[in-house]
Chains A and B, each alone.
Chain A
């Protein structure tokens, strides 16, 4: 019996709530009387997170002229919202370290996720988005539902993977046929359980069917194009063996003609290397 997406989330208590450090940071962010110093204190209590964040901020992600050696300094230079999103990205990756996932090569999974996050960040930068880290997180989390399916319904997930590998159809369509929902739906359900905002949930939910997005169309289109780009750049596929087709609607939405240049791929490559070295 295939579990519903809700049952899937409930059956995985280890991941059914967001990373605890992220909950504490969210409390600080939501408290009008808190300051950057409070944010810094919460992050600093987690030395692993602090180290990863500082590595990322000092990498080719930002190309800063001087070294940032504290969270407080990073908050001032990079911005609170931005660092909040980077903290989410980093802590989610660590959270799954403790989760046994024999069916999937976790490094390969996160490589594809990081590549998509970075590609999305590059697209967002070219499009002049105010907070590119928001798009980085959306891209990073786009396939998170696959981990949930592997944890909560390993047999179903395995059958879908094998079927997609044998060339039957794209993974998300095979999942739809076998379970009535796909990893994008599962991911969105998980992010909902985490109380993450819709600007992250909708792009994850619709990244294979961007034309069905109705609130965050640009964000969804960017995650869609970023996922395909990461696949095409052969930065680990994370389970899907084929490059998915590009949606014309998504392409028109991001008005991407100027992205058709080798420099787009060079930028993605540089930031991908930086992200892998800093937080994987």
Chain B
């Protein structure tokens, strides 16, 4: 199983082993599908690398986004509005748009609960 540095981790990756804190107690258990909160905890506890489920040749298993594609599609036009003056053909802006769309949907879903 590949061992990844903190900055390589992504939301949705699955832990292949327990991640201990500085006292050796498990901070996050094996089998956990990483959320942003977990990544934040690693950073806070100074965890530098963790073992992830997947083969070593870059085929790391990333769980599908918890956000349904239909929701992303529903809100896409609203986020496009916000980006109407931006140059979305630029690769960074395209990536920022994706990030924005996910955040927008999360904010909307958060508002309803």
Contact = CB atoms under 8 A, between A and B. Distances in A.
B86 A266 contact: no
A245 B85 contact: yes
B46 A270 contact: no
Chain B interface helix/strand/loop/mixed: helix
A266 B100 contact: no
Contacts of B85: 170, 242-245
A213 interface: no
B107 interface: yes
A102 B91 CA distance: 39
Given A233-B99, A262-B10, A263-B10, A242 B84 contact: yes
A229 interface: yes
A233 B100 contact: yes
Given A228-B96, A269-B36, A260 B7 contact: no
A245 B100 CA distance: 15
B86 A234 contact: no
B86 A260 contact: no
B84 A234 contact: no
B81 to A, nearest CB: 8
B66 interface: no
Interface residues of B, number: 29
Interface string A242-280: 111110100100001001111101110110010000000
B8 A263 contact: yes
A263 B40 CA distance: 12
Given A234-B107, A243-B85, A260 B99 contact: no
A66 to B, nearest CB: 11
A63 B46 CA distance: 7
Interface string A204-246: 0000000000000000000001001101111000000111111
Contact of A270 (B43, B83, B103, B104): B43
B92 A244 contact: no
Contacts of B44: 60, 63
Interface in B40-65: 40, 43-44, 46
B40 A229 contact: no
A270 B10 CA distance: 14
Interface in B66-97: 82-87, 90-93, 95-97
A242 B83 contact: yes
B28 interface: no
Q: From A60, A228, A234, name the one whose CB has the most chain B CB atoms within 10 angstroms.
A: A234
B96 to A, nearest CB: 4
Nearest to A235: B103
Given A65-B46, A234-B104, 10 more contacts: A60-B43, A63-B44, A225-B92, A228-B86, A242-B84, A242-B86, A245-B85, A245-B93, A262-B99, A263-B8
21 contacts: A231-B82, A233-B99, A242-B82, A242-B83, A242-B85, A243-B83, A243-B85, A243-B96, A244-B86, A245-B87, A246-B87, A248-B90, A259-B92, A260-B95, A262-B11, A262-B95, A263-B7, A267-B7, A270-B40, A270-B43, A273-B40
Interface of B: 7-11, 36, 39-40, 43-44, 46, 82-87, 90-93, 95-97, 99-100, 103-104, 107
9 closest cross-chain pairs (CB), A and B: A232-B96, A243-B86, A242-B85, A245-B87, A232-B100, A260-B95, A265-B99, A234-B103, A263-B7
